[in-house]
Amino acid sequence: MEEGNQTKVSQFPLLGLSEDPELQPLFFALFLSMYLVTVLGNLLIIPAISFDPHLHTPMYFFLSNLSFVDICFITTTVPKMLVNIQTQSKDISYIGCLTQVYFFMIFAGLRNFLLSMMAYAWFVAICHPLHHTVIMNLRLCVFLVLMSWIIIFWVSLLHILLITQLNFCIGTEIPHFFCELAQIINVACSDTLINNIFLYVATALLGVFPFMGILFSSSQIVSFLMRMSSAGGKYKGFSTCGSYLSVVSLFFGSSLGVYFSSSVTHSSQKSSVATVMYTVVTPMLNPFIYSLRNKDMKGALGRLLSKAVSCQ
């Protein structure tokens, strides 16, 4: 590509999930419904945990943070998509695209950290109940969350600084419904070797390692449950473990698959489907997994709703 055909473009067209105009109303209704369910479900979890003293534990501290991150995570992508469908516009500004990439990377990374922290807190609570309050004290929990914010803030900023060094050809289109880092790198007209190296390193450090930590904690929990003599305790533990691992596997499997395959294949259709799974579906499932299947959370939500009704 000649240098004269490269420029710092002012905007990108987002091609979305499909260019078929007949599918746009269906996409709008579907994604609006999932967005509202995700936001409302997670908004209920945060005050339920905050106002119930019984839930002031490390596991629920991380869960309240995860709910906040999930709201921000889905808000970085879906509202812009809905606006584009409603206005029949595909464009996003260059600055808006970089902003979307930046906040998407922050909240995606925070999800990785928080899910691994929850797995470890769960492991300590089940396998070492007598030392749970000592090992997972409030100071450590707050420190872990703050460190996660700091680390992902700088990693995301470095990604953005590297993107600003790239050139894009006139008429460059993004075959996606939002500005995703891997897609931005793929459509650049200049050399992306450094960007890809940093992408793989960051994905390994912020994605693979937390996932391995989750697998280790979960394996220890499963081993502990297998040694239990109570059939009821085994069933309850495996039921919760299975639900949690299914959501975690869906999130990590689809997200890691997208980033590690970004330079191997350019199939936007497969990438879009996988991205929808970890950007929209898993945040929507979390309130159901951690609330409706959790007796303590259902009790806290019931008390919260009772207070809200009595105050009217």
The phi and psi torsions of 25 (rounded to 5 degrees) equal -60, -35
Confidence class of residue 49 from pLDDT cuts 50, 70 and 90? confident
Most trustworthy range by pLDDT among 42-51, 77-86, 114-123: 77-86
Q: Which parts of 128-208 fold into alpha helices (H)?
A: 132-135, 138-163, 181-187, 193-203
DSSP structure class, residue 107: H
Work out the average pLDDT over 250-274.
60
pLDDT of residue 131: 80
pLDDT over 50 at 3, yes or no: no
pLDDT over 90 at 88, yes or no: no
Work out the average pLDDT over 96-105.
94
pLDDT of residue 59: 82
pLDDT of residue 28: 92
Tokens matching residue 159: 């990604």
Return the amino acid letter for 78. Answer: V
pLDDT of residue 122: 81
Give the rounded percent of residues in the chain with a pLDDT score beyond 70: 79
Segment among 165-174, 232-241, 246-255, 302-311 with least mean pLDDT = 232-241
Segment among 74-83, 156-165, 250-259 with least mean pLDDT = 250-259
Return the amino acid letter for 58. Answer: P
- Burial of residue 239 (CB within 10 Å: 0-12, 13-18, 19+) is exposed
pLDDT of residue 210: 84
Element (H, E) at 11: strand 11-13
**Which fold, 7-310?**
Rhopdopsin 7-helix transmembrane proteins (1.20.1070)
Other beta carbons less than 10 A from residue 279's beta carbon: 24
Confidence class of residue 236 from pLDDT cuts 50, 70 and 90? low
Give the three-state DSSP class for 14: strand
pLDDT of residue 10: 80
Contacts of residue 195, Cβ cutoff 8 Å, sequence gap at least 6: 159, 162, 163, 166, 185, 188
pLDDT of residue 5: 45
Total-model pTM: 0.85
pLDDT of residue 1: 42
Helices and strands per DSSP (H, E), number in the chain:
13, 4
Confidence class of residue 151 from pLDDT cuts 50, 70 and 90? very high
Give dist(CA 18, CA 268) in Å, integer: 11
